[in-house]
Amino acid sequence: MIVLERVAELRDLCDDARRDGGRVGLVPTMGFFHEGHRSLMRAAYADNDLVVVTIFVNPLQFGAGEDLDAYPRDLAGDIAAAEAEGVDVLFAPTVAEMYPEPTTTTVHVADVTDGLCGAARPTHFDGVTTVVAKLFSIVGPCRAYFGRKDAQQLAVVRRMAADLNLPVDVVGCPLVREPDGVAMSSRNAYLTEAERAAAPVLSRALRAAADAVVAGEREAAAVTNIVERTVADEPLLQLEYAEARRADDLAPLERLDGEVLVAAAAQVGEARLIDNVTLTIYGAEVEADLGVVTEKAST
Ligand code: AMP
């Protein structure tokens, strides 16, 4: 595996691979790898000839007072994990390499960024789309792999790629859970033992909401109310939102039909947890995508 810090070197490698007929797979991350990240690397490895993983804790996507300085990092561990997954190139640039000048250009996606995480983090998605647009521009035509754990981010990036005709095929991958159901996240490292023990209530609440839809509930408010009531029983979690949205464009819904995202966020001590389930509803039939449970616990 080659570890790179320079934009120009990454661009050259990707151009060379395509010139030789190779397909390029890109996995953008902020590092501190867990099974969720590794599942994206495996998906990229299965479909491509050159797998590029990027690690960049992007200051632009952190709001004032958020956890930019505290964000967990372990470059040596990440190099070992990426190497074990057959990754070809690990791109870990400095902030100065990615933003040599103060940024004057920002990529903003409207509508899909409204509400959900966009409400509490009003500058977050502009930071994400700006850095992801830069990575897409540096890497060039490729498939790019994103986790459904960050469902709004996936919808926003897809929309950006479509609106700007970017030569990137955005691939959504399953949400990976700890054995007790908690959505894997680098930020779970912030949890104390008591907070970690309380955290599964969020995924339990979403599963209860999914069960209600499978049993016939179609009112969005009734479904999100199940999440609110379940999380309210756990004093260590403060629910930030629970919402049901149309899965592709995240339009608000009153009645559930078609592909629906039920998403929630909660503050637990220093950590902000997000989680979701996707329900595909055809009349009385419901297919629930609750993600996949890994056997390799990280917390
Ligand atoms: P991050 O390093 O947290 O910015 O995440 C990098 C990529 O990994 C994003 O596409 C995330 O959606 C994805 N990811 C993070 N956690 C998970 C998870 N538990 N399951 C699946 N994908 C994940």
- Ligand 1 atom having least distance to the Cα of 174: 21
- Ligand 1 atom having least distance to the Cα of 153: 12
The confidence score (pLDDT) of residue 297 equals: 82
Q: Give one DSSP letter per residue of the chain, joined into a string.
A: -EEE--HHHHHHHHHHHHHTT--EEEEEE-SS--HHHHHHHHHHHHH-SEEEEEE---GGGSPTTSSTTT----HHHHHHHHHHTT-SEEE---HHHH-SS---------STTSSTHHHH-TTHHHHHHHHHHHHHHHH-SEEEEEEGGGHHHHHHHHHHHHHTT-SEEEEEEPPEE-TTSPBP-GGGGG--HHHHHHTHHHHHHHHHHHHHHHTT--BHHHHHHHHHHHHHT-TT-EEEEEEEEETTT--B-SB--EEEEEEEEEEETTEEEEEEEEEEEETTEEEEE--EE-SS---
Q: For tokens 């509490």, what's the residue?
A: 120
Residues in the chain predicted with pLDDT less than 70, given as ranges, are: 299
The confidence score (pLDDT) of residue 147 equals: 98
- % of the chain with per-residue pLDDT over 70: 100
The confidence score (pLDDT) of residue 25 equals: 99
The pair of three-digit structure tokens given for residue 40, joined into one six-digit string: 């994206």
Angle at which helix 7-19 crosses helix 124-139, to 10 degrees, equals 50
Q: Whose CA is nearest to atom 17 of ligand 1?
A: 36
The confidence score (pLDDT) of residue 102 equals: 87
pLDDT in tens, 93-111: 999 999 999 889 999 999 9
Gap from CA of 216 to ligand 1 centroid (Å): 31
Active site residue 37: yes
